[in-house]
Amino acid sequence: MSPTEHALIYVSRSNSNVHDHSASEVIRNILTQSRAKNARLGVTGALLFSEGYFCQVLEGERAAVEEIFSAIEIDPRHRDITLLTFRPATPRRFPAWSMAYAGSDAGPAWAEKIEGLLLNPSEIDGDRMGRELLVLMTDLVRQQDLDGP
């Protein structure tokens, strides 16, 4: 693995009024676009959409991850984009997926936690929150794999 491999984790609020059950087309579009761009740039990761919030993990060469995150920062589908962590990282947590979808099973408790963090970003412990989200998303992606498409 290259020494320039990095992992980035952010959370954001959906800019539309979609809820989990009505977000399937929005999520499908995001996944289609993300998977194509990420594959082209050699980036892997996972996306979680739950209760109107996004959480995404991006893994790859630093420049490629920065390019994708720069596009996310101006994407009209997001607001209150909060970078939790961006650091050198090996190994990749989602090496088999250009963009895994962790689903929408995180539930209201997770959303309340994110809501509180976004209201007071100065109190975010990005490393701790990033670790918690990695564990949650890894578990959800593994569960999706077991359940099938």
What pLDDT score was predicted for residue 91? 86
Class of domain 5-147 as given by CATH:
alpha beta
pLDDT of amino acid 72: 93
Report domain extents, the chain.
5-147
- What's the whole-model pTM score? 0.76
Residue 145 has a pLDDT of: 53
Per-10-residue mean pLDDT, the chain, length 149: 79 72 73 93 88 86 96 90 86 85 64 63 60 69 52
What tens digit of pLDDT does each residue of 13-43 get?
Answer: 887 765 555 557 778 888 899 999 999 999 9
SS (HEC) of the chain:
CCCCEEEEEEEEEECCCCCHHHCHHHHHHHHHHHHHHHHHHCCEEEEEEECCEEEEEEEEEHHHHHHHHHHHHCCCCEEEEEEEEEEECCCCCCCCCCCEEEECCCCHHHHHHHHHHHHCHHHCCHHHHHHHHHHHHHHHHHHHHHHCC
Confidence at residue 149, expressed as pLDDT on a 0 to 100 scale: 40
